Structure 1
Amino acid sequence: MRFLRRLFSFLFRIIILIFFLGLLIFIFPRIARNVKNIKLFTPKPQIVKNIEKDVEEFLIENYRGYYDIENFKITSTEETDRGLEFTTEFNMTLTKSPNDLPFIKSFRENATTDEAKDYAKYLENYANNFYKNKSKTSLVFLMPNGKSSFGDLKFPLHEKTLELSAIKIDEARLSSLGKSAAINYKKTIGEGNYDRKEACTYALEHYKDEPEYENNCANFVSTCINKGGISEKGSFYPGAINWITTGFKNDGSGLVPYLTRHGFFYQEKFRGKVEPGSIVYWTDASHVALITYQDTVTMKYTAHTKPRRNEILPLGSKTIYFTPTSH
């Protein structure tokens, strides 16, 4: 009897030990990821302090006449192989009337068909949603290795960098694109009742959620558009290839091929017609994001795997756009 009690006691301890070991194996990776993502306060490097005011003044002057820039701050810095990256945040308020924005104005003046004229009114109406409303905005800068002055700053991309002029408002270019878009306007109709606003709201509220995958960009965008009304159906569901990959392999699988093949989204070549709730796809990297702000002058996106919220998308990025076929 005593032997059985000792045996049961021994087995019980073994079971408890196995249980706790299994628990550790299960939760440790998640704890490690959380610790890795925690950003403790660190003083700004002197190199950033020296140019902070210059960066703020650059943004104010660059957007003068179109936007007010307020509450500028540098929120984080990161040492990379290319140099020091730092993230800026600020409130950006559209102050120029949507009727006078170059793309919209030119589109309206060159619209000849009834459908194009209707779309011109639609453009003005949705741009009005941003007029005089503050938009919390972010923008990442790069100080290349061995450099230290404001004039050396770049915008970092996946494999290259862009000059600061990439966010300059080019009125002539916008007007030309508006004219071309109006002349070549073709109405697109697709299936579904996609709510762009719901998709954007989810993205802006959940951009800091813990990534489910090491490369989580497609999974994040899929979740956002699913919240906006693109339902789980057939080969589109959490964990499926068409949900968690971008389509970069060009083999017919992935998020973008699925959405275009089934008529939910179409490729839009005119940046001014790319509305919030659309998808931006980097062609030089397997990366997608959700457009969460677009007033026809400035476009911003929200994304994983690095959390990005309303980050300005500069011109010169190797990107293509996919916009919903339903409103």
Structure 2
Amino acid sequence: MFGKKIAASAIMLFALTSAVAFADDTTLKASDAKVREEAQKFVVDFVGQAYKPYYTLNTIDSDISEYSVKDNVLTARVNISLSKTLKAKSVDEIPYVKGMKGQSAALKQTNAISAMETEQVISDRLKDLSEYIGTATEQNDSFRLTAKVVNGVIDNQSAKLEFLNYMDWIPAAHFIPETEETMMKHGQKDLLEAVTTNRAYTVRSAVQPQAAFTYNRIAARDYANKYTSTVTGSPYYDTSKWNKNYKFHTESGGVDCANYVSQAMYAGGIPTDSTWKPESIAWVNTGRNISNGLEDYMVRTKKYFYKTTKATTPAGGFISALDYSHVMFVVANDTVTMQYSAHTNDKLKASFANFSDSKFEFFYINSAYLQ
């Protein structure tokens, strides 16, 4: 947990984009405690307001790992650590589930899809989501605040707030959960796609024998959370938290992401073979910039995982970045917020923003392998 605790009830949302010009009338030192405190409060208030419709914030802590004031312009990296609980008292109150059930009822009336198929998909999803009802979830994120400082005080009107979506600083608006209506639409759309995927997989499995294993996605998730941490400063990884039974890949500033995700998958029960084993290309390389990497093996060669959407990727799945060679392991997804853990940069239970899917792909284990 971070050092400075601020009450979660303070939830004001400040203007993020407007700019106002002020005279250069004050000079601050980087040790100015008042400005630091204001920067932390700005971010804590923003997070509280963003999450208010869907979560009860049990605790929220903050600290600053980077801070500077130059020409009366503040730049601060504010890191938050929080505990949150869904306000929904049952899975049926989750907007995404409302969308799925509404779509299911409509399909049954038209006989477009059998009741058995839709009920199986919904039942599987409700099972995944039930673990979040009444259960506190921890989360760690980073924000970058830029603002003018006037007479020793942050000028909120000139403030610009960004969110660290893994390695990309993006507008903080993407951190805010989608509206209930949008989440319901995702549920409607994903029900149709899930049934189609299950049908195709059933046909394929009838002619292609399945591997003799089951995948325990919770064991994989727990492994992922055990062997990483939240690191907010250079070199952005901490090998003391890594599993010492595997080789560390810290070359080139740290390239351990696929090695770490492979370890989590193995902990979940996916068996090694002559192609996918520790230190093989399929184990330690993402496959984004080279053939026969982790994604190739899991998705196209073995077909253990299939491409899905953000909302339909529970804990136990993984995220692949398209703009650079990187994979992350999904450790929570209540359909309001997705969270992931990763190596180099090390992340523990960080949220994945509502950002363009065109920059990322999401993968989840085929249902035939689920425990």
Q: What's the TM-score, normalizing by structure 1?
A: 0.79
Deviation at 1:144, TM superposition (A): 4.4
How far apart in 1 are the matches of 2:57 and 2:344?
A: 27
Alignment of 1:35-74 (within 5 A): 47-74=35-62
Name the structure 1 match of 2:121: 119
Query: Which residue of 169, 173, 177 maps to 2:182?
Result: 173
Structure 1 residue runs of 5 or longer lacking an equivalent are 1-38
Deviation at 1:117, TM superposition (A): 1.8
Structure 2 residue runs of 5 or longer lacking an equivalent are 5-29, 69-74, 108-113, 203-209, 230-237, 243-247
Name the structure 1 match of 2:235: none
Is the Cα–Cα contact under 8 Å of residues 163 and 175 in structure 2 kept in the other structure? Answer: no
Name the structure 2 match of 1:20: none
Query: Which residue of 147, 150, 162 maps to 2:170?
Result: 162
Deviation at 1:205, TM superposition (A): 1.1
Name the structure 1 match of 2:93: 100
**Structure 1 residue 244 and structure 2 residue 284: aligned?**
yes
Alignment of 1:140-159 (within 5 A): 140-144=142-146, 151-157=159-165
Is the Cα–Cα contact under 8 Å of residues 39 and 76 in structure 2 kept in the other structure? Answer: no
Query: Which residue of 206, 218, 223 maps to 2:258?
Result: 218
Alignment of 1:1-327 (within 5 A): 47-75=35-63, 77-78=65-66, 84-96=76-88, 97-111=90-104, 112=107, 113=114, 114-144=116-146, 151-157=159-165, 160-169=168-177, 170-184=179-193, 185-186=195-196, 187=198, 188=201, 191=211, 192-208=213-229, 210=239, 212-213=248-249, 214-249=254-289, 251-260=290-299, 261-268=301-308, 270-317=309-356, 318-325=359-366, 326-327=369-370
Superposed CA deviations along residues 218-258 of structure 1, whole A, max 9, x for unmatched, are: 11111111111112112111111111111111x43211111
How far apart in 2 are the matches of 1:44 and 1:242?
A: 49
Superposed CA deviations along residues 266-305 of structure 1, whole A, max 9, x for unmatched, are: 111x322111100011111211111000011110000111
How far apart in 1 are the matches of 2:124 and 2:155?
A: 44
How far apart in 1 are the matches of 2:145 and 2:43?
A: 12
Q: How many residues align?
A: 286
Q: Is the alpha carbon distance of 1:70 and 1:237 closer, same or farther for their aligned partners in structure 2, counting shifts above 3 Å? A: same
Is the Cα–Cα contact under 8 Å of residues 84 and 142 in structure 1 kept in the other structure? Answer: yes
RMSD: 2.8
How far apart in 1 are the matches of 2:281 and 2:312?
A: 29
Q: Is the alpha carbon distance of 1:68 and 1:300 closer, same or farther for their aligned partners in structure 2, counting shifts above 3 Å? A: same
Q: What's the TM-score, normalizing by structure 2?
A: 0.70
Of 65-74 and 274-283, more deviation after overlay is shown by 65-74
The residue type equivalent to 1:176 in the other structure is K
How far apart in 1 are the matches of 2:171 and 2:128?
A: 30
Of 217-226 and 119-128, more deviation after overlay is shown by 119-128
Q: Is the alpha carbon distance of 1:103 and 1:67 closer, same or farther for their aligned partners in structure 2, counting shifts above 3 Å? A: same
Superposed CA deviations along residues 162-194 of structure 1, whole A, max 9, x for unmatched, are: 222212232222111211122333214664411
Deviation at 1:40, TM superposition (A): 12
Is the Cα–Cα contact under 8 Å of residues 341 and 347 in structure 2 kept in the other structure? Answer: yes
The residue type equivalent to 2:219 in the other structure is E
How far apart in 2 are the matches of 1:304 and 1:194?
A: 22
Larger Rg: 1
Q: Is the alpha carbon distance of 1:40 and 1:175 closer, same or farther for their aligned partners in structure 2, counting shifts above 3 Å? A: closer
Of 188-197 and 285-294, more deviation after overlay is shown by 188-197
How far apart in 2 are the matches of 1:310 and 1:299?
A: 9
The residue type equivalent to 1:71 in the other structure is T
Q: Is the alpha carbon distance of 1:47 and 1:160 closer, same or farther for their aligned partners in structure 2, counting shifts above 3 Å? A: farther
Name the structure 2 match of 1:6: none
Paired-residue identity, %? 21
The residue type equivalent to 2:38 in the other structure is N
Deviation at 1:216, TM superposition (A): 0.7
Is the Cα–Cα contact under 8 Å of residues 57 and 82 in structure 2 kept in the other structure? Answer: yes
Of 46-55 and 201-210, more deviation after overlay is shown by 46-55
Q: Is the alpha carbon distance of 1:122 and 1:241 closer, same or farther for their aligned partners in structure 2, counting shifts above 3 Å? A: same
Q: Is the alpha carbon distance of 1:315 and 1:193 closer, same or farther for their aligned partners in structure 2, counting shifts above 3 Å? A: same
Greater helix share, structure number: 1
Is the Cα–Cα contact under 8 Å of residues 60 and 68 in structure 1 kept in the other structure? Answer: no
How far apart in 1 are the matches of 2:140 and 2:167?
A: 20
Is the Cα–Cα contact under 8 Å of residues 107 and 179 in structure 1 kept in the other structure? Answer: yes
Where 2:225 maps in the other structure, the secondary structure is helix
The residue type equivalent to 2:221 in the other structure is C
